[in-house]
Structure 1
Amino acid sequence: MKKFLVLSMMILSAVGFSQKLTESQKFWINLEKHCGKSYEGTVTQGGKEGDGFTGKKLVMQVLSCEPNRIRIPFYVGDDKCRTWVLFKNEEQILRLKHDHRHEDGTEDKVTQYGGENSNHGFENLQMFPADKETAQRISYASTNLWWITLDEKTFTYNLRRIGSDRLFTATFDLTKPVEFNEKPWGWKE
């Protein structure tokens, strides 16, 4: 029996089962577990009356999970213009982009901005400092830092503009999926 266990471990090791996952891979896998589900949330930091978010129904929908792209529409009341798009490359570096659309599906003037994590982050936290493309498109966003936290109970989307008092956090309860059958403006499979 002992020889069988040793041989089995050697075989598993040889075929790569002992290979460790990076923190960003673990994060990605945990996020994929929510594919097809929707969750309600609230503004938990930075909100104030009249900001366009506070007091409105917030829903995140993990609508599409592909091998290298996860799309998460973020609905604010009846506004269906926002989708968070996460990409991963071969090195397991993650990128966050914001896809903003008009009701007719055309891209907003301010869209496709975001950042790339500079390392593998943590299993439950990925940070995305603004990238060059964002700085060129939207100069005031060049100091933006976005981060997402993910654990068994919550998903948070966060924005901090370094050098200012701008801070925004939306927190979603992952313990209570909600029925939600909407699609964001301009959605294409």
Structure 2
Amino acid sequence: MRTFLLPIALLILLPGCDRPTPSSAASSPTAASAKPADAFFAQLGALCGKAFAGRLVAFDERDRESFGGPSVMHVRTCSEQEIRIPFHVGDDRSRTWIVSRVDGGLRLKHDHRHRDGSEDDLTQYGGDSAAAGAGTAIRQSFPADAESKAMFLKGGLNASVDNVWSLEVEPGSRFAYELRRPDRHFRVEFDLSQPVEAPPPPWGYE
């Protein structure tokens, strides 16, 4: 297991994709007429193909080394059912957020990869928005699901069973990724008003 696993174990957050395929499919229905989860998914899909620079706004001092460098999110692939968003920090391209439609709402999963493209021991964890209520067109939250809790307990990461991840999209203004639990608050925000050059593909999806 590579040395990056320590910050992953501390945060259990942030963390694969096909070729980027910007699509309007992910951005229909309109936010005004859709249910909150559908409206949120549409607003996220409207960003498909674009990349944005980010900055830490809530973190522990231990996060600075691993997450304090230049960061960028790239809404890289979109379909009617799934949106994949690589999250890069410096030259670390190990993380991808996966947002998909499920019965009753949305699902967030974290795909962690090694530099050679193989899956990390700690990967594909997350939860469903339905467990946190309807949410809004701006914010959806995802409490850790049973599969993720079992993974955390097996790995000795007991505190992480209380993880709740949240995503926010304020069109033209801000995208945010957040992790909360009783002893933890991590949040990174991205400026949607100024797209940046798309980064290289995430590890494992070159």
- In the superposition, the TM-score normalised over structure 1's length comes to 0.84
User: For the residues of structure 2 that align with 1:52 and 1:181, how far apart are their CA atoms?
Assistant: 18
Residue 175 of structure 2: aligned partner: 155
User: For the residues of structure 1 that align with 2:113 and 2:149, how far apart are their CA atoms?
Assistant: 20
Higher RCO, 1 vs 2 (CA within 8 Å, ≥6 residues apart) = 2
User: For the residues of structure 2 that align with 1:144 and 1:129, how far apart are their CA atoms?
Assistant: 6
1:87 is matched by which residue type in structure 2? S
Say which SS state the counterpart of residue 148 (structure 2) adopts: helix
Say which SS state the counterpart of residue 52 (structure 1) adopts: helix
User: For the residues of structure 1 that align with 2:76 and 2:117, how far apart are their CA atoms?
Assistant: 17
The structure-2 alpha-carbon separation of the partners of 1:173 and 1:47, relative to structure 1 and needing over 3 Å to count, comes to farther
Identify the structure with the greater helix proportion.
Answer: 2
Residue 100 of structure 1: aligned partner: 112
User: For the residues of structure 2 that align with 1:47 and 1:80, how far apart are their CA atoms?
Assistant: 22
Q: Highest Rg: 1 or 2?
A: 1
Structure 2 gap segments, 5+ residues each: 1-31
Deviation at 1:21, TM superposition (A): 1.5
Residue 186 of structure 1: aligned partner: 204
Deviation at 1:181, TM superposition (A): 3.8
Percent of aligned positions that are identical: 40
Please tell me whether the aligned partners of residues 59 and 75 of structure 1 are also in contact (alpha carbons under 8 angstroms): yes
**Is 1:86 the counterpart of 2:99 in the alignment?**
yes
Structure 1 gap segments, 5+ residues each: 1-18
Task: Please tell me the root mean square deviation across aligned C-alpha atoms, in Å.
Answer: 1.6
2:147 is matched by which residue type in structure 1? E
The structure-2 alpha-carbon separation of the partners of 1:176 and 1:20, relative to structure 1 and needing over 3 Å to count, comes to closer
Q: How does 1:1-189 map to 2 (within 5 A)?
A: 20-48=33-61, 50-54=64-68, 56-89=69-102, 91-118=103-130, 119-139=133-153, 140=158, 141-152=160-171, 153-161=173-181, 163-164=182-183, 166-187=184-205
Matched pairs, number: 166
User: For the residues of structure 1 that align with 2:71 and 2:134, how far apart are their CA atoms?
Assistant: 29
1:81 is matched by which residue type in structure 2? S
Residue 11 of structure 1: aligned partner: none
2:142 is matched by which residue type in structure 1? F
Deviation at 1:92, TM superposition (A): 4.8
User: For the residues of structure 1 that align with 2:33 and 2:43, how far apart are their CA atoms?
Assistant: 15
- In the superposition, the TM-score normalised over structure 2's length comes to 0.77
User: For the residues of structure 2 that align with 1:64 and 1:22, how far apart are their CA atoms?
Assistant: 23
Please tell me whether the aligned partners of residues 47 and 53 of structure 1 are also in contact (alpha carbons under 8 angstroms): no
